[in-house]
Amino acid sequence: MTTSKRRYHITTFGCQMNKADSERMAGILEDMGFEFSEDPNNADVILYNTCTIRDNAEQKVYSYLGRQAKRKHEQPDLTLVVAGCVAQQEGEALLRRVPELDLVMGPQHANRLKDLLESVFGGNQVVATEPVHIMEDITQPRRDSKVTAWVNVIYGCNERCTYCVVPNVRGVEQSRTPEAIRAEMEELGRQGYKEVTLLGQNIDAYGRDLPGVTPEGRHLHTFTDLLYYVHDVPGVERLRFATSHPRYFTERLIQACAELPKVCEHFHIPFQSGDNDVLKAMSRGYTHEKYRRIIDTIRKYMPDASISADAIVGFPGETEAQFENTLKLVEDIGFDQLNTAAYSPRPGTPAALWSNQLSEEVKSDRLQRLNHLVAIKAAERSQRYFGRIEEVLVEDQNPKDKTQVMGRTGGNRLTFFTGDINELKGQLVKVKITEIRAFSLTGEPIEVRQALTV
Q: Which residues are annotated as a binding site for [4Fe-4S] cluster?
A: 15, 51, 85, 157, 161, 164
Q: Point out which residues pair with 240 in neighbouring strands.
A: 197
The binding site comprises 15, 51, 85, 157, 161, 164
Q: Return the number of other C-beta atoms located less than 10 Å from residue 305's C-beta.
A: 19
Q: Are 415 and 443 in contact (CB under 8 A)?
A: yes
Q: How far is Cα 44 from Cα 399, in angstroms, rounded to an integer?
A: 29
* E-state strands within 13-78: 35-36, 45-50
Q: Residue 135: which residues within 8 A CB-CB, separation 6 or more?
A: 111
Distance CA(289)–CA(329), nearest Å, equals 10
The residues, ordered by sequence, that sit 6+ positions from 359 with a Cβ below 8 Å of its Cβ are none
Which residues, in sequence order, are CB contacts of 304 under 8 Å at separation 6+? 265, 384, 411
Tell me, what DSSP letter sits at residue 385? Answer: G
Q: Is 412 left (phi over 0), alpha (psi -120 to 50) or beta?
A: left
CA distance 319 to 310: 19
- End-to-end CA distance of the chain, in Å? 48
| For helices 360-382 and 320-333, angle between their N-to-C axes, nearest 10 degrees | 10
